[in-house]
Each structure stands twice: as structure tokens, then as C-alpha cells.
Amino acid sequence: MKIYPSRIQQYFDSHKNLLQNHPIVHKFTVEQEFISFKEGFIQIDIKLIKSFHLKVFEYYKIGEGVINYRYHVMDSQNKLLVRWDNAPHHSELETYPHHIHTKNGVKSANQLSLAEILDVINIYW
């Protein structure tokens, strides 16, 4: 009997495939990965071109998708440039709990995929 990877494993593997082939990714390390029958999480450290750094955390639940995330973009001195997350604070924002932290403060932001985050980094930095 052939055993197929879970939906969560397929989702996390799609991240790894994206990172292996994306033009702005220099290298990446999966720091933590946990998968159970109904949920899982992944934490990835990504070195980008131009000495930028991206830290990714996603918590995925079957039937709901990504329910908790954060994407930190840092410069070569590890200074935070921008962070997207859905921590349940900033309830005043239109897109609550989704938001973005920038040097100019916290703003409304829609949830983005890892591919979209990489595209934003590629365009603006």
C-alpha cells in the first residue's frame, strides 16, 4: 500500500520547492517542522540576495489553512524592516488581525502567501 503525504506535508513541501527555485533566495534552513494528523507548523530562516534576511513562521490546520503566521524581513544588521503577522492585537485596524509593522508604524494589510511576500521583497528592496 502506497502512503501519500498529508495535505500539511504537501503544503510545507511547496514552500521548500518555492524557496529552492526563487531567484532572490540565496539559501534557506528549515529550523523547525512539526506535522500531526490535523495540524502543523514550520519555521524557516531564509537568506536573500542583497544581504536581506527573512524569517517565516506558519501554523497550519486542516480545514482552516494558515491560522497563525509571521514574516520578518531584516537587513544585513538584522534590523527589522517590515513584519507581516496576524497576532490578535491592533483591533482598530480594518484588516484585524492581519497587519504589517513598518518603520512608520502598524498598518492594515491582507494575509499574503510566502510567494507574495517574496515578490514584495523583490519589488521594493
Burial bucket for residue 72 (CB in 10 Å: 0-12, 13-18, 19+): middle
pLDDT for residue 38: 94
pLDDT for residue 5: 75
500531526: which residue's cell? 36
pLDDT for residue 2: 54
pTM score = 0.91
Q: What is the mean pLDDT of each run of 10 residues along the chain (125 residues)?
A: 76 97 96 96 96 97 96 94 96 97 95 96 86
Task: Specify the pairing of strand 105-108 against strand 80-85.
Answer: unpaired
**With contact defined as beta carbons under 8 Å apart, do 8 and 35 qualify?**
yes
Distance CA 123, CA 42 (A): 25
Q: Which amino acid is at 87?
A: A
